[in-house]
Structure 1
Amino acid sequence: MNGQTVGRDVSIDLMTSRGLLAVSAQAITDFSSQPSTTNTASKGLDGITRYGVFPDGWSGVLSIDRMGSQLDDFWAQIEADFYAGVNIQSGTITETIQEPNGGISQYRYTGVMFDFKDAGSKTANQLVKQKLNFMAARRIKVA
């Protein structure tokens, strides 16, 4: 809109260790991500402080309107696997952005571990809003 990216220009695909997490695109109401960094400082004998900023993964949150049992079922399987001693593998998130100039940008978050932070409040005449947090080892530009 007016040369700027808006939320509906973005689509998200969630691939878990169990396969595609089929959350409806209409159900995802918010996706936020931010890089994690480790900062260091070193003071040389010359008295000058030199700083370093090291990439240290990504984290974020998906806000999802509950339109089915997909998230609840996914987390129930994660819990069952954990208590059965199954090794829970990481997944990926693919973020696709329709750019204002007509191009496509695509980023893949790798080494993703999901954390179902909020199953939602069940209140009369209110939408049930859920939150799925994630931590990722990297974000790689794929297109």
Structure 2
Amino acid sequence: MPANTGFGVLTIGKDVSIDVTLPSGQVLNIDRVTSFDKKQETTSLNSKGMDGIHRFAEIPDGWTGSIGIDRGGHSLDDFFAALEADYYATGTLNNVRITETIEDTDGTVTQFRYDGVAMKFADAGKSQPDAYVTQQLSWKASKRIKVL
């Protein structure tokens, strides 16, 4: 639900959900997502013309991001163990797809799909007494497509 500040309605993190779809079509069970970060990557072009005009361009070069998780089970550990085992057995890595769904402030839904996603278990977690085990995935995608 968006937050009405009295000076405009803003999206808050609870308005966003994500799904990670495996090559098999199954959705990877990621419990307790605490954050989803995404950034557009670009390649910068610069030209300083003899006519004194500077010309610039930013070429889309994929997307990167991270997913924060409070560990609630072994699904991520199992996924990355299978990914690694498959790689050593076959030499093949299969990318996934991330779907981001946003409930907008006007009540509509916006959805983006990140294709060709390579994921890494950036932090599988630290176990210590009286603390949640937090995990971090990092990812890179070939492109982002608006679905809705």
- The reply to whether TM is greater than 0.5 is yes
Residue 98 of structure 2 corresponds to residue 107 of structure 1: no
Letter of the structure 1 residue corresponding to residue 29 of structure 2:
A
Partners of 1:103 and 1:20 in 2: CA distance = 24
Q: What is the SS of the residue equivalent to 2:77?
A: helix
Q: What is the SS of the residue equivalent to 2:106?
A: coil
Between the two proteins, the alignment pairs up a number of residues equal to 141
For residue 60 of structure 1, what is the aligned residue in structure 2? 65
Partners of 2:124 and 2:115 in 1: CA distance = 24
For residue 21 of structure 1, what is the aligned residue in structure 2? 28
For residue 76 of structure 1, what is the aligned residue in structure 2? 81
For residue 50 of structure 1, what is the aligned residue in structure 2? 55
The answer to whether the Cα contact below 8 Å between 1:17 and 1:88 also exists between their aligned partners in 2 is no
Partners of 1:21 and 1:116 in 2: CA distance = 14
Q: Which one of 11, 15, 18 corresponds to residue 17 of structure 2?
A: 11
Q: Where does the alignment leave 5 or more consecutive residues of structure 1 unmatched?
A: none
Residue 42 of structure 2 corresponds to residue 37 of structure 1: yes
Shift of 1:125: 0.8
Residue 122 of structure 2 corresponds to residue 117 of structure 1: yes
Deviates more, 1:3-12 or 1:40-49: 40-49
For residue 126 of structure 1, what is the aligned residue in structure 2? 131
Moved over 6 A (4+): none
Q: What is the SS of the residue equivalent to 1:75?
A: helix
Partners of 1:66 and 1:45 in 2: CA distance = 58
What is the RMSD of the two structures over their aligned residues, measured on CA atoms? 1.0
Q: Where does the alignment leave 5 or more consecutive residues of structure 2 unmatched?
A: none
The share of aligned pairs that are identical, in percent, is 44
Deviations 1:64-92 (A, max 9, x none): 00000011000100110111124212111
Letter of the structure 2 residue corresponding to residue 115 of structure 1:
K
